[in-house]
């Protein structure tokens, strides 16, 4: 028995009777769509990663590895707490006449004026006359709020900002957002770890900078902690030393 030459064989497929494509072609189309989506996701991920790394490189390039030799004078000085050397550098700048008054923002509520005198015996006279303590700030955004209130109340038009070099970009960004009319002059405090030009070889320093860069990005996106300042009054002046404080300071300097 012979088969007609014009009849299709069993292995062949063609369009359905209603003219629609054969079902066998549909899985192929689905695979094509999934493949396209996967490639797009890969490109987006790689592009985002490269943009993040480029931004991180630009961020670290802004971080100074040395302190300015002769910073410009300003109406006042603000120190954002977070490192012992920041307050000491602020007192030194105040002693040099770089500002008329100084605010230490973010002072722990458990830290007394007497404790500050013990840690800064050389600046005792300045602490008594020209330093205000801000205890409301809980983070950098809180620092900006506290500093802005203090500066506006005293009509300061320029501020010398003292904080760690890695913290400076975010601090200036937050301060400028609340006080665009005030000139901000940076005084980055450089620690030993930041003096090393090859900081990326130190895992601890690299993690610190990466964490700060993420916070910097979040600040630009206006994503901040829910609470920036603690309830309470505004900045306080350093009270006069109690009786016997002078001998305490002298004793502290001899140890």
Hey, how many other C-beta atoms are within 10 angstroms of the C-beta on 212?
20
CB 105 within 8 A of CB 188: no
Q: Is the dihedral of CA 13, 17, 21, 26 positive or negative?
A: negative
pLDDT in tens, 182-204: 999 999 998 766 656 677 778 88
What confidence score (pLDDT) does residue 196 get?
60
**Helix, strand, coil percentages in the chain from 3-state DSSP, rounded to 5:** 50, 15, 35
Query: Please, is 210 exposed, middle or buried when counting C-beta atoms within 10 Å of its C-beta (0-12, 13-18, 19+)?
Result: middle
What confidence score (pLDDT) does residue 246 get?
34
Q: 182: phi > 0 → left, psi -120 to 50 → alpha, else beta; which?
A: beta
Q: Is the dihedral of CA 122, 127, 128, 130 positive or negative?
A: positive
The overall average pLDDT reported for the chain is: 80
Dist. CA 219–CA 233, nearest whole Å = 26
Q: Mean per-residue pLDDT for 170-179?
A: 97
Q: Is the dihedral of CA 150, 116, 212, 227 positive or negative?
A: negative
DSSP for 184-198 reads EEEEEEPPHHHH-TT
Question: ∠12-14-16 over CA atoms, to 5°?
Answer: 140
Is the model's pLDDT at 122 over the cut of 80? no
Q: Mean per-residue pLDDT for 124-131?
A: 86
pLDDT band at 247; cut points 50, 70, 90: very low
Token code pair at residue 29:
């189309």
pLDDT in tens, 23-50: 555 677 878 778 888 888 888 888 888 8
CB 131 within 8 A of CB 244: no
Token code pair at residue 50:
């490269």
Q: Tell me the CB-side half-sphere exposure of residue 216, using CA atoms within 13 A.
A: 22
Q: For the domain with range 76-248, which CATH number is right: 1.10.357, 3.40.50, 3.30.70, 2.60.60?
A: 3.40.50
CB 238 within 8 A of CB 116: yes
pLDDT in tens, 67-108: 777 889 999 999 999 877 899 999 999 999 999 999 999 998
Q: 222: phi > 0 → left, psi -120 to 50 → alpha, else beta; which?
A: left
Q: Is the dihedral of CA 178, 184, 187, 190 positive or negative?
A: positive
The residue ranges of every structural domain in the chain are: 76-248
CB 92 within 8 A of CB 77: no
Is the model's pLDDT at 115 over the cut of 80? yes
What confidence score (pLDDT) does residue 92 get?
93
pLDDT in tens, 202-244: 888 889 999 999 999 999 998 888 888 887 666 767 655 544 3
Dist. CA 136–CA 180, nearest whole Å = 22
């Amino acid at each position: 028995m012979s088969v007609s030459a014009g009849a299709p064989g069993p292995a062949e497929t063609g369009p359905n009777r209603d003219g629609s494509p054969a079902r066998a072609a549909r899985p192929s189309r689905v695979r094509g769509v999934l493949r396209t989506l996967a490639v797009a996701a890969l490109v987006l991920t790689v592009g985002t990663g490269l943009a993040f790394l480029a931004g991180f490189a630009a961020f670290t390039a802004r971080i100074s590895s040395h302190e300015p030799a002769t910073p410009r004078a300003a109406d006042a000085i603000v120190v954002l707490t977070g490192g012992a050397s920041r307050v000491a550098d602020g007192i030194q700048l105040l002693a040099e006449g770089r500002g008329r008054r100084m605010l230490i923002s973010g002072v722990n509520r458990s830290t007394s004026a007497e404790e500050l005198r013990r840690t800064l015996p050389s600046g005792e006279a300045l602490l008594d006359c020209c330093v205000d303590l801000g205890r409301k700030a809980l983070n950098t955004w809180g620092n900006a709020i506290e500093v802005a209130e203090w500066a506006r109340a005293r009509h300061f038009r320029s501020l010398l900002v003292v904080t760690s070099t890695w913290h400076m970009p975010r601090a200036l960004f937050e301060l400028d957002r609340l006080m665009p009319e005030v000139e901000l002059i940076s005084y980055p405090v450089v620690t030993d770890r930041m003096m090393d030009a090859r900081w990326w070889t130190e895992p601890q320093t690299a993690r610190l900078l990466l964490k700060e860069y993420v916070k910097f990005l979040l600040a630009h996106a206006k994503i901040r902690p829910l609470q920036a300042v603690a309830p309470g009054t505004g900045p306080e002046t350093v009270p006069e030393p109690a009786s016997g404080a002078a001998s305490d300071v002298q004793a502290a300097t001899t140890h």
